[in-house]
Chain A
Amino acid sequence: MTQLVLGQVLNGAIIGAMYGIIALGITLTFGITGIVNFALGEFMMIGAYATYALAERGGLPYPVAVVPGCLVAAAAGYLSNKAFFRFTRNNLVNGLLVSIGLISIFESAAMLLWTATPVEMHFVLPGALRVGDIGLPKMKLVVFAVIVVVIVATYLGLARTWLGRAAFAYAQNPEAAMLMGVHTPRLETAVMLYSTGLAGLGGALYASLYSLEPAMGGVYVLKGMEAAILGGIGSLMGSLWGGVILGVIEGVGSILLPTAFRDAYGLAVLVAILLFRPAGLFGDE
C-alpha cells in the first residue's frame, strides 16, 4: 500500500504540473489583462492536434513539432483576441459568453477535421522507470521537467524584466501604466499570445502522453481553473503548486477511496482551503 500511495504522489505531481500550465495561462490572462478566457482548453486542443499532425503526418521529430504546435495555438489565440476577447476586459459574463462560443466553434472545427475517433501519437519516449513496484513512464518525467522549467522561466521573466514590471503595472492600473509609456494594447496582445501559446505547449506535451479527441480541452480548463484558484489567481508559482497539489490529491484519493469520485477529492480540498485562505494558497488577500 505504501508503494501504491508513493507511486501516486509522484504520478499526481506530474499530472498536476499539466494542470499547472493551464492554470498559469488563466492566471496570466485574468491577473494581468482582466480577461477571462475559459476557452484555454481549446487552445490546448489546437496545440495538441497541430503537434500530432506535424509529428505523425508531417514526419517531423516530436521535439521539433512542439514549437510550431505552440505557434499555431498562439496564432489562434491572437485572432481570438483581436476578434473577441479584447472587448471583454473586466467583464466576466462577456468573457464567459465569448469563451462558450469559441469552445463550440473550435470543437466543431476539430470534429470536421479530425472526427470523433481518438488519435494517438506513437510513444515518443517508450518505457517506464521502475523503482521497486513503482513504475513511472519516462515521458511523464520529461513532461514534468519541461513544465517546471517553463513556469519558473515565466516567473523569472516577469519578476526580473522591464516587460514583467510593465505587465504588473498594467494589471494594477492600466491608465497609469499607459501614462508611464507602456504600450498597453501591445502588452495585452502579448499576454494573450503567451497564455494561448502556453496552453498550446500544454497540448503538445499532452499529445505525447494521452489520446486526443476534439472534446479534450473541457476537462483540462476546469482543472486549470481549480489549480489557479487553489494556488491563488495572480500567483505564477501558485499555479504550479496548485496544479501539483490537485494532482496529488486526486491520485492518492483514487488509491484510498473509490476512483469514481476522483474529481471530487480535489474539489473538496479546494473548498476546504478556500474556507481558510479565500485568496488561495499563494494569492494576495
Chain B
Amino acid sequence: MARPRRGVTVNSAVFTLAVLGLAVTSARAQDVVKIGQIEAQTGANAIYGWMSSQGTALAVDEINKAGGFKVGSKAYKIQLIALDTRGEPKEATVQLKRLIEVDQAKYIFGPFLSNVFLAVRPYAGEFNGKILMWGGATRIHDYVGTPGHEFLMRTWNWDAGNNGFGELMVDNLVKTTGAKKIAMLFQNDQGGKVLEDIYVPMFKKKGIEYRLDYFEPGTKDFSAVLAKIAAWKPDFLFPSYADSYLYDIVRQATETGQLKKFFLVRGSLGPGLKNKDGLDEYMVYVPKYFEEAEKKDPKVAKFVKAYKDFYKRDFPYDQAPLCSASCYDHVYMLVEAMKKAGTVDDPAAVKKALMSMTYDGLWKIRFDDKGEAIFNFDVVRLKKGGALEVTHINPN
C-alpha cells in the first residue's frame, strides 16, 4: 500500500479543521437563547398559566420564523422550554431546578400562581444575579425590589396603591353604585388569602361592611354557601379568582335568583356573558377587552389572526386578557431589552434595560422602580341582557 505523502496529509488535516471551524462559526451565528417557563397548563387553576404559555409559544415561533434576532453582530434564536407545573409547588420546584441547572436557562417566565411562587422563591434566590424571573404571582409584590430578589420582576399590575387597579375599581364601585355591603367568596388557598390581605383593609378604609367565606378548592356546587351569603343580603358578591369556579358561582347564584350583582378583580367576562339575563350587574377588571380592541387596534387584530393560524382553533376571547401576564408581549420586550443591553448572557444588564424602557405591544408596558409592571387595562361593566360599558384606564 502506498504511503500517503506528508504534504497531502497535512493539507487534509488543515481542510478538515477549516470545515469544522466553519461549522462551529455557523452554529454560533445562530446561537440559542433559552427561555424556561413554569406555569400551570393543566389543573384547576390552569387558566392563567395555560394562556401565558400559549402566548409565549406564539411569540417565540414568530421571532424564530423571522430569522431570530440580532444582538450586536450575532444572530440568536429562542428555545422555549415550557413545563407544566399543574399548579403544584413541589413539581414546580423540581422543574425550575431542571431549567436552571440542566437546561441552563437564564430567563424564566412564570409563575402566575402565588403558592407556586412561594415554593420556588428560596431556590430561585440562590441564583440571584444569574437568572431573571418574570412572574405574575400576586405574592411577588412582597419581594420584588427587596435585597436578595434582584432576579425578580412582576409582570402583572398591583391591586393597591396609586397605580393599583383594585383600588381604582373599588373607588369606581363605591362612587357609581353606592355599594355598602360586599360579600367575598374565595377559595381556601394562597390566592384567596392574598385577596383577603389586599381587599379587607381596602374595604375597611372605605367603610364598606364585608363578610368573607372560603370554599374548598375543587368545589363545584356552591348552593350552600351562596344561600348563606344571600341571607346576609350583600350589595355585591366578590367571588373567587379563577374561571373554573366563577362559571359555576355566577350560574348558581343567578339561576336561583339569590345574588345578581358581582364585582371581580380576577377572572374573565365569560361567566357574566353566559348568565347575562339572570344578573343585574357584573363589574370586572380586564387587562384588555379584546372584542373591542381587535376592531380598533391593528396590533391586536394581528395577534388574534396569528393565534388562530398558529393553534388552528378559535380565539379564546374571554381568556386572552391573561396574555398580559408573562406572555406574548414579554417575549418581544425581553428581546428588545437584550438588544438594548447588548448581551443575552447577563440577566442583570438585561433587567437594567427592561427597567428603563416602555414597550408598546398589545399593552403599553413599563416597570416601576421596584420592577413591577404598570400597564393599561380596562374595566368592563356588564348589565342585565348584555349591555356593556368599557372604561379604559392608563395608570400614571
Which residues in A have some Cβ–Cβ distance to B below 8 Å?
A: 4, 7-8, 11-12, 15, 107-108, 111, 115-118, 120, 123, 126-128, 135-137, 209-211, 213-216, 218-219, 250-252, 254-255, 258-263
Contacts and interface: CB of A to CB of B under 8 A. Distances in A.
Interface string B234-258: 0000000001100110011001111
A260 B215 contact: yes
Interface of B: 41-44, 46-47, 50, 188, 213-216, 218-221, 223-225, 227-228, 231, 243-244, 247-248, 251-252, 255-258, 270, 274, 316, 318-319
Nearest to B188: A260
Given A213-B44, A262-B219, 10 more contacts: A12-B224, A111-B41, A116-B46, A120-B251, A136-B256, A137-B252, A215-B42, A251-B223, A255-B228, A262-B215
B244 A259 contact: no
B318 A117 contact: yes
Contacts of B223: 7-8, 11, 15, 251
B46 to A, nearest CB: 4
Contacts of B216: 259-263
A11 B244 contact: no
Nearest to B319: A117
Contact of A118 (B218, B227, B228, B243): B243
A137 B252 CA distance: 9
A137 B255 contact: yes
27 contacts: A8-B227, A11-B221, A12-B224, A107-B42, A116-B47, A116-B50, A117-B47, A117-B243, A117-B319, A128-B256, A128-B257, A137-B252, A137-B255, A209-B221, A210-B221, A211-B248, A214-B42, A215-B46, A218-B218, A254-B224, A254-B228, A255-B224, A255-B227, A259-B214, A259-B215, A260-B214, A262-B224
Given A4-B231, A123-B255, A137-B255, A259 B225 contact: yes
Contacts of A261: 216
A107 B274 CA distance: 25
A111 B46 CA distance: 10
Contacts of B50: 115-117
Chain A CB within 10 Å, residue with most, of B46, B221, B231 = B221
Given A117-B47, A213-B244, A251-B223, A4 B228 contact: yes
